[in-house]
Chains A and B, each alone.
Chain A
Amino acid sequence: MRIALAKTLAEIADRDPRVMLITADLGYMALEAFSEKHPRRFFNVGVAEQNMVGLATGLAEAGFIPFLYSIVTFASMRAYEFLRNGPVLQHLPVRLVGVGGGFEYGSAGPTHFGLEDIAIMRAQPGLRVIAPADHEQTRTAVLKTWNLPGPIYYRLGKDDRSTIPGLKGRFDMDRVVTVREGKDLLFVTTGSVTQEVVAAAERLAPQGVSAAVVVVSTLNPPPVAALLETLAPFARVLTVEAHYLTGGLGSMVAEIIADHGLRCRTVRIGVDAQPNALSGSQGYHHRLHGLDREGIAAAAMNQLART
């Protein structure tokens, strides 16, 4: 998704001189598509995320559209207050890009896990939160949102090769995308972990369970109407996210269900405790937290058995 971002931005920058890409010293073998084509509008500010967000505030007030790049944890948390008191408070078109949601930097250890960014970002009114599920959807999401007024947080994955079956790069701010039809239960998911959710749904089919999968790529403002329409036919809903259970996609869906009095039995699948101190691949951490395809399918069977 990083390369998709850089390529798409380079194309936009060809025709719009306001677009800039600024990194806090990350993005090796990822941002070159932009930096080589638009060197005057590419800045590496060094390992200094607070300054990066402050700079972008001054640039955006003067008419630029700066995209800021870092790993999810640094992008979302180190400069959070600068984001709040700058682009959010002043409704400026700063785009903060965090790469590596969830356990994508699994072997890098807990300092690099992105497990609370959705929660803290969607707490800010007027800050759009966008989490594409694959590189094709990243491209569409950037093309459809880069020049919107106000600030945006993009939560990207690292994978620039695989695609989500059935997604076909579709994205709209107010919509959700159903990538698999089903009638017994509905999986609601976001981001790269969608890959595991679709695989889990496929595993359930031979067991006689028809599971639908809907991808939610805009987490603020929540796509309420689209979700209500999607949730309404289902008595059982499982939300799946590579994120803490507090404040993320599952919380958002539960809020909508509660606010509108839907009768969905909802189970939230995500990270429910601080990760252990062990490092390992994304797959290892997904298995530990029940976010792998087997774990997700098992959670679905459990829920079906309870009713």
Chain B
Amino acid sequence: MSDATSNLGGKELVPCLECFGRQPPAQSARYNGTDGTPVQALRAPRPTEPGTIARGIRRIILEQSKRAGVGHIGSALSIADLVAVLYGGILQANGRDDPERDRFILAKGHAALALYAALALRGWIPDEMLDTYCGDGSLLGVHPEPALPGIDFATGSLGHGLSIGAGAALAARLTDSPRRVYVLMSDAECNEGSVWEAVMFGAHHKLANLIAIVDLNGQQALGYTRDVLSLAPMAQRWHAFGWDVHEVDGHNREDLDRTLAGLSPSGAPHVLIARTVFGHGVSFMENQIKWHYSPMSDAEFEIAMAEVGELE
């Protein structure tokens, strides 16, 4: 991987803490803006239609990966539609600091750029902050960091997110809160035994406010999941563990929205097994492991942006 700071495309790196006009938080302190941290004026109008958000997310993924000269592009593109549907209306939150907000945990933390894009499009972080992605002193690393407004938990270590989500869902139940917890996982993450500990807990306690979404793109770090460690049949495995299973097309936003909105508030926890295409939206990236790692050349970037299209 190239040095992230050496390929800034001529743009000046903005230390993101300065975006908020304040000093770095004390070590481990939560940086959630509750002290009146100003968010810069938002670019209006903010997109609210999932299709537009999805295109916006893809454009930001490509722009920022290109600017920073980093990879994980295919993983981020894979979840662009899922994140767009969640941030386009499913996640209930009266502002990013609302204690009653639905929680979102990006268990596959390496796709954080898709989430940063959604946070910016929603107006929870300033657009300028995106330009610090992978820069020195940035809160926008390859994996999400809870000091960043809008991020609830540090993820990136695969197999961790679902157990956190189960705890967050249990907390909501114990306080009679209607809030829900969404955990977006990778398929290969299900190689981790800890995932199944949390799966069993969620089913045993009937945590119907816990919604797992498995990004079933079939790709993992060193090959296809079917060759590395077979996960098939994924849906049957979750079903056998007692979850309410929905097999969906992870790029069909209308279907995703309808499925998520229709989940029962009682009974078993829910899982969407979302069939996705690694690198979706950029033809030469689709199902190509190279795009787990590689940054784009100038020519590749031009083609990719043209395929994704303008933001209207």
- A positions within 8 Å CB-CB of B: 40-41, 43, 45-46, 48, 50-51, 53-64, 81-82, 85-86, 88-91, 125-126, 150
Contact indicator A59/B168 (Cβ below 8 Å)? yes
Q: Given A54-B162, A58-B168, A85-B154, are A45 and B201 also a contact pair (CB < 8 Å)?
A: yes
A58/B30 in contact, CB under 8 A: no
Q: Are A55 and B160 in contact (CB under 8 A)?
A: no
Contact flag A48-B197 (CB < 8 Å), given A62-B172, A125-B27: yes
Check B168–A90 contact: CB distance below 8 A. no
| A50 CB contacts on chain B under 8 angstroms | 159, 163, 193-194, 197
B240 interface hit (Cβ, 8 Å) = no
Query: Across the interface, which residues of A come within 8 angstroms of B162, CB to CB?
Result: 54
Which chain A residue has the least Cβ–Cβ distance from B166?
A55
Which residues of chain A are near B170, meaning CB under 8 Å?
A: 43, 55, 58-59
Of the residues A58, A64, A126, contact of B164 by C-beta under 8 Å: A58
Contact A46 B201 (CB under 8 A): yes
Contact A57 B164 (CB under 8 A): yes
What are 5 sample pairs from A and B whose C-beta atoms fall under 8 A apart? A58-B103, A61-B153, A62-B168, A62-B175, A88-B28
Chain A contacts for B197, CB-based, 8 A: 46, 48, 50-51
Q: Is the CB of B174 within 8 A of A90?
A: no
The reply to whether A64 and B174 contact each other, CB–CB distance below 8 Å, is: yes
Contact A90/B167 with A48-B200, A55-B201 known, Cβ cut-off 8 Å: no
Q: Taking each of B153, B163, B200, B204, which has the highest tally of chain A beta carbons within 10 Å of its own beta carbon?
A: B163
The CA of A50 and the CA of B161, in the complex, are separated in Å by: 11
B159-187 interface code vs A (CB 8 A; 1 in, 0 out): 11011111111111011000001000000
Which residues of chain B in 131-176 are interfacial with respect to chain A, using CB atoms and an 8 Å cutoff? 146, 152-154, 156-157, 159-160, 162-172, 174-175
Which residue in B29, B167, B193, B204 is a CB contact (below 8 Å) of A57?
B167
**Chain B, range 273-289, C-beta contacts under 8 Å to A:** none
Asked whether B200 lies within 8 Å of A46 as measured between CB atoms, the reply is: yes
Give the residue of A51, A90, A91 whose beta carbon is less than 8 angstroms from that of B153.
A90
- Extra contacts, 8 of them, besides A55-B198, A82-B160, A82-B163 (Cβ < 8 A), are A54-B198, A57-B153, A58-B164, A58-B168, A58-B181, A61-B164, A89-B28, A90-B28
List residues of chain B with CB within 8 A of the CB of A90: 28, 30, 146, 153-154
**With a CB–CB cut-off of 8 A, which chain B residues contact A91?**
27-30
B151, chain A: closest CB distance, angstroms: 10
Partner of A58, one of B156, B166, B193: B166
Determine the chain A residues whose CB is within 8 A of the CB of B157 once the complex forms.
81, 85
Q: How far, in Å, is B304 (CB) from chain A's closest CB?
A: 32
Q: CA separation between A60 and B28, bound complex, in Å?
A: 14
Q: Which residues of B contact A86 (CB under 8 A)?
A: 153-154, 160, 164
Say whether chain B's binding surface is mostly helix, strand, loop, or mixed: helix
Cross-chain contact A51 with B194 (CB below 8 angstroms): yes
Most chain B beta-carbon neighbours within 10 Å: one of A51, A55, A56? A51
Shortest CB–CB separation between residue A87 and chain B, in angstroms? Answer: 10
Chain A residues positioned under 8 Å from B28 (CB to CB): 88-91, 125-126, 150
Q: Which chain A positions have C-beta within 8 A of B156? A: 85
| Cβ-defined contact, B154 with A51, below 8 A | no
Cα separation A41 to B164 with both chains bound (whole Å): 17
By a CB distance below 8 angstroms, the chain B residues around A56 are: 167
- Shortest CB-to-CB span from A187 to chain B, Å, is 35
Q: Cβ of A54 and Cβ of B154 under 8 Å apart?
A: no
Indicate if the CB atoms of A85 and B160 lie closer than 8 Å.
yes
Q: For A55, list chain B residues within 8 Å (CB).
A: 163-164, 166-167, 170, 198, 201
A284-B159 Cα distance, complex, nearest whole Å: 40
Q: How far is the CA of A45 from the CA of B146 in the complex (A)?
A: 26
A43, A54, A125 — which one has the most chain B CB atoms within 10 A of its CB?
A54
Q: How far apart are the CA atoms of A50 and B158 in the complex, in Å?
A: 12
B29 in contact with A54 (CB, 8 Å)? no
Residues of A within 8 A of B201 (CB): 45-46, 48, 51, 55
Contact of B166 with A54 in the complex, beta carbons under 8 Å: yes
Which A residues are CB-close (under 8 A) to B174?
A: 40-41, 64
Residues of A near B166 (CB, < 8 A) are 51, 54-55, 58
Q: Could you tell me the distance between the alpha carbons of A57 and B164 in the complex, rounded to whole angstroms?
A: 6
Q: How far is the CA of A61 from the CA of B159 in the complex (A)?
A: 19
> Which of A40, A43, A45, A54 meets B160, CB within 8 Å?
A54
Chain B positions within 8 Å of A82 at CB level: 160, 163, 194
Of the candidates B27, B99, B153, the one having the most CB atoms from chain A within 10 angstroms of its own CB is B153
What's the minimum C-beta distance from B175 to chain A, rounded to whole angstroms? 7
CB distance from A177 to the nearest CB of B (A): 29
CB distance from A148 to the nearest CB of B (A): 13
The answer to whether A54 touches B167 (Cβ under 8 A) is yes
Instruction: List residues of chain A with CB within 8 A of the CB of B27.
Output: 91, 125-126
Chain A residues contacting B30 (CB-CB under 8 Å) are: 90-91
User: How many angstroms from the CA of A57 to the CA of B200 in the assembled complex?
Assistant: 18
Interchain CA distance A41-B146 in the complex, whole Å: 27
How far, in angstroms, from A88 to B154 measured CA to CA in the complex?
11
Interface contact B171-A63, CB-CB below 8 Å: yes
Complex Cα distance, B157 from A53, in Å, reads 14
A48 to chain B, nearest CB (A): 4
- Please, which residue of chain A has its CB at the minimum distance from the CB of B156? A85
Contact of A51 among B103, B146, B152, B198 (CB under 8 A): B198
Least Cβ–Cβ distance between A208 and chain B, in angstroms: 50
